[in-house]
Amino acid sequence: MLNLYRRHTPKCPHADKGQNYIKCSCPIWCDGELNGKRFRKAVGVRDWARAVKRAEKWESAPGKAIKDQTIAGCIESYLADCRARRLKESTITSYRKTLDHLRAFCESRGCVRLADADLALLTDFRAGRNVPAANEGETARPIAPSTSGKELEALRAFCAFALKREWIARNFAKDLDAPMEDGPPTLPFSTQEVKVILQTCEKWREKNPRVKEGTPESIRAMVLVMLYSGLRISDTVQLRRESVDLKTGKMLLRVMKTGAPLYVRLGEPAVEALKALPGSSEYFFWNGTSELATAVGLARRAIARLLVAAGVEGHPHRFRDTFSVSLLEKGEDLRTVQLLLGHSSIKTTEKHYAPYVESFQRILDAATAKLDFGKSSPKAQKDFGTKSGTVRKNVGKLLKIG
């Protein structure tokens, strides 16, 4: 038999009343015997009625009792499974950052076991997520809605993983609503901005005479590859020389889940820029010996300096946006762009690029063209007068009936 009790926290005003006092919201624990062994665990909920039902369920099916797992241990198991599923290292790194923040927050609240986490704890975690102050005198600011949305996706995936293994009783992260994203839509570089950026690459050595040999050529080639392929900067840094046929411009974009290779043909400017790159490494933009994260970070900083020198606001991902929007504005369908970008779902492509689909714009233009406010043709006036008179008569009948 399992006995329930409140495990009062140090801040609970009723802590001196003992474990039998249950009219508070402190964690509920159970203590007793299951399968002939002592069973002492956190129930995982703070509502007493739900705790009673859960204890009864465990007593009726002892093998399904929630397993005692620490948050830190669950996180490591989840990330190991992500590696086994061959997720990208950048994705795993993103998951780890979010889950490490969660672990630190839970431990600061005295919650070490995953079974003790509940909706209230996850709600407080998300509400308290801030970007630390970069300089002295500055204050922390809330994370951007887009970042909060990404973290919510990571939390839901992690909790779903734990639920399947019976480490938690419920995926509380699914009960958290997604944040409202009111930021600016996807903004590609304009044609003039692209022109200025490429001109700045060509004049880079004039403005920076001490720059390392090959750096201006490498930055220019990186920009052109992103513009002509839509690759992320992390994938561009890992571009292998064997993946590009410099004679035909054919580049291996990725290998599909079916095992079939997907190729894209790079534009001539990008191919010529790659041909001009020196070096004997198997990669165009990475020596292959340093840490990949270090190489990507250096590439990001180089692009950031280039944009500042060109007087253009933005970040490396805008080259990917420019690639996508340029195709859509030239009449390519959304499915083609999804395939080129490697999005697993077309909904992701629609979310970012639907406003730029030419067919959508034609539909909107045709819809608004049907409006005729302000027209003063005799026929329009006659039709409007007839219709408005009919409406007045119908309204009058209704009023009389009422």
162-194 pLDDT per residue, tens: 988 878 878 999 999 988 866 556 688 999 999
45-73 pLDDT per residue, tens: 788 888 888 888 778 776 555 555 789 98
For residues 2-30, average pLDDT = 86
Residue type, 275: K
pLDDT score, position 64? 55
Which is more confident, 268 or 41? 268
Band of pLDDT at residue 395, cut at 50, 70 and 90: very low
pLDDT score, position 380? 52
In angstroms, what is the C-alpha Rg of the chain? 30
pLDDT score, position 378? 57
Query: Would you say residue 391 has pLDDT above 50?
Result: no
Q: Which of 107-116, 204-213, 238-247 shows the lowest per-residue confidence on average (mean pLDDT)?
A: 204-213
Band of pLDDT at residue 2, cut at 50, 70 and 90: confident
Q: Using CA atoms, how far apart are residues 250 and 229, in angstroms rounded to an integer?
A: 11
Which is more confident, 152 or 256? 152
264-294 pLDDT per residue, tens: 899 999 999 999 888 778 899 998 888 888 9
Q: Using CA atoms, how far apart are residues 87 and 389, in angstroms rounded to an integer?
A: 66
285 contacts 218 by C-beta, under 8 angstroms: yes
pLDDT score, position 225? 94
pLDDT score, position 102? 94
7 contacts 29 by C-beta, under 8 angstroms: yes
**Both tokens of residue 154?**
């990571």
* Cα separation values, 107 from 72, 103, 148, Å: 10, 6, 21
Of the ranges 90-94, 223-227, 376-380, which is most confident?
223-227
pLDDT score, position 352? 77
96-155 pLDDT per residue, tens: 999 999 999 998 888 888 888 888 999 999 998 887 766 666 777 788 888 888 899 999
Options 1.10.150.130, 3.60.20.10, 1.10.167.10, 3.40.50.12170; CATH of 71-133+140-175 = 1.10.150.130
For the chain, which residues make up each domain, given as ranges?
Answer: 2-64, 71-133+140-175, 191-362, 377-402
For residues 379-387, average pLDDT = 52
- Please provide the average confidence, as pLDDT, over all residues in the chain: 82
How does strand 141-142 pair with strand 244-245?
unpaired
What region does 214 belong to: left with phi over 0, alpha with psi -120 to 50, or beta? left
Can you tell me whether residue 166 is helix, strand or coil?
coil
pLDDT score, position 397? 52
The fold for domain 191-362 equals hpI Integrase; Chain A (1.10.443)
